[in-house]
Amino acid sequence: MSINNKLMEFLDKSHSNFHAVNEMAMILDEQGFTHLENNQAWDLSAKAKYYVKVNNSSIFAFDLSDYQAGMGYKIVASHTDAPTFKVKPNAVKIVNNYIIVNSEAYGGLIDYTWLDRPLKLAGRVIIKEDGKLVTKLYDSKKAVGIIPSLAIHMNREVNKETKFNRHTQMRPVVGQGEEFNFKAHLANSLNVSEDAVYDYELVFKPLEKATYVGFNDEFVASNHIDNLQSAYVSFEAFINSKNNGSVNVYASFDNEEIGSMTKQGAQATILRDILIRISDYFKLSNEEHLISLAKSFIVSADNAHANHPNYLEANDENHVVSLNAGVVVKYSANQKYTTDALSSALMQELSKLSGAKIQAFVNRADAPGGSTLGAISGTQISIMSVDIGLPQFAMHSSMELAGSEDSQHMLDLLQAFYNCELIVSSDSLQVKA
Ligand SMILES: [Zn+2]
């Protein structure tokens, strides 16, 4: 199956970031990876492959095949979360016999794109089972809500710039009636009693599946393309590669969209701790561990902005980024992206080796642009790094658009990264295919 078709299946199964991590964990189980727990001793073997989850919303995998003490790490990092509406604890509000769900925005979403779309609800519910509070995945499996627009007849100004009040105007309507017991509904769906349901983290997501768009299927449209496209394609590159003189690591953090400052986000010490635990297990001294980090390289993979044909002025005219023109290497003078001349040179070398196309992105000098997880992760662990991503339109819309050829370019580039022998020093890099 093509990487695009696999990506679209993955997008459809990833009803929430908890579901995305669960999907990846199931694939790792099938691929012979051992599931480690952070609260237990790790009994590692120099021939085996492992993964660990944090909060069930971020996931880290590493391959120790052919491990020899002191090897560097080759890491690709991405994020699992996306902007959405998250249900508040007191979820239900009745307005004129309509059942409204009280929710708040998570991350920087484009409000109007969430109007008039059938929405499903998904995430995790905490229930009491055999005396323990445990996590259960929940997915409404059908559209349960919608945020209807106000008719143009009642707002003639709507096609001028319209702002929405998220507290009063962006509330999903989920039914009619004088009351609705939300916890009872969750309990019923999970086959438990109502008093077993303690709490939940549930978000709305468009019901529409990922689809090709274009007379020649040039594009892929879906919710959550940022950043599940980079997360999934780099995951495929990881599981289909072999270590070659370093340890291959896959990392996908939660909470990039709200600043990464959580226990499962890129600003946590998780990745650093995982590498320390590997070194500790193989009895590396502190200095040997630091030497292995100095031999390491991290690729931060998060989607990027292509030049929009209707808004050409939004991008730097001298750095035209196009859909279906390959992986984007992101630059920022202020190091919002970690790319430097040496780390970008590695992407060029891997592009030549693999045939994967790459293109450069820089924000306009008069636009601040966004940031991503590379620079944040770099505050916890000092490793040579580059920021890349796949080009897309409509970032943070409820329906984003990517090119259908770009996933293959990233897969080829990152497989070349994971498969090569990479010799890193502070002022030079050498790639041996
Ligand atoms: Zn992103």
Note the pLDDT of residue 370: 77
Burial 134-155 (b: 16+ CB within 10 A, else e): eebbbbbeebbbbbeeeeeeee
pLDDT at 371: 76
Q: What separation in Å is there between the alpha carbon of 11 and the centre of ligand 1?
A: 15
C-alpha 385 chain-centroid distance: 18
The position carrying tokens 């997008």 is 11
Nearest by Cα to 373 from 273, 276, 281, 265: 265
Name 12's Cβ contacts closer than 8 Å, sequence gap at least 6. Answer: 209, 210
The alpha carbon of 328 and the centre of ligand 1 are apart by a number of angstroms equal to: 13
Q: What's the 293 CA to ligand 1 centre distance in angstroms? A: 25
Report angle CA 16, 22, 26 to the nearest 5 degrees. Answer: 145
In angstroms, the CA 386 to CA 233 distance is 17
How many whole angstroms from 166 Cα to the centroid of ligand 1? 22
Ligand 1 centroid distance, CA of 113 (Å): 17
Question: How far, in Å, from the CA of 235 to the mean position of ligand 1?
Answer: 16
Give the per-residue pLDDT at 57: 97
Residues found in the chain: 433
Ligand 1 centroid distance, CA of 257 (Å): 7
Q: What's the Cα-to-Cα distance from 261 to each of 146, 166, 365, 369, rounded to whole Å?
A: 31, 24, 27, 20
At residue 83, φ and ψ (nearest 5 deg) are: -60, 140
Kindly list the strands in the beta sheet with 304-305, ordered across the sheet, starting from the edge strand earlier in the chain.
Answer: 211-213, 219-222, 400-403, 391-393, 304-305
What's the 81 CA to ligand 1 centre distance in angstroms? 8
CA of 154 to the centre of ligand 1 (A): 36
Tell me the CA–centroid distance for residue 373 and ligand 1, in Å. Answer: 8
pLDDT at residue 232, rounded to an integer:
98
Q: How far is the CA of 43 from the centre of ligand 1 (A)?
A: 34
Q: pLDDT at position 164, please?
A: 93
Domains within the chain, CATH numbers bracketed: 3-82+223-432 (3.40.630.10), 84-206 (2.30.250.10)
User: What stretches in the chain show pLDDT beneath 50?
Assistant: none
- What separation in Å is there between the alpha carbon of 254 and the centre of ligand 1? 10
How far, in Å, is the centroid of ligand 1 from the Cα of 223? 12
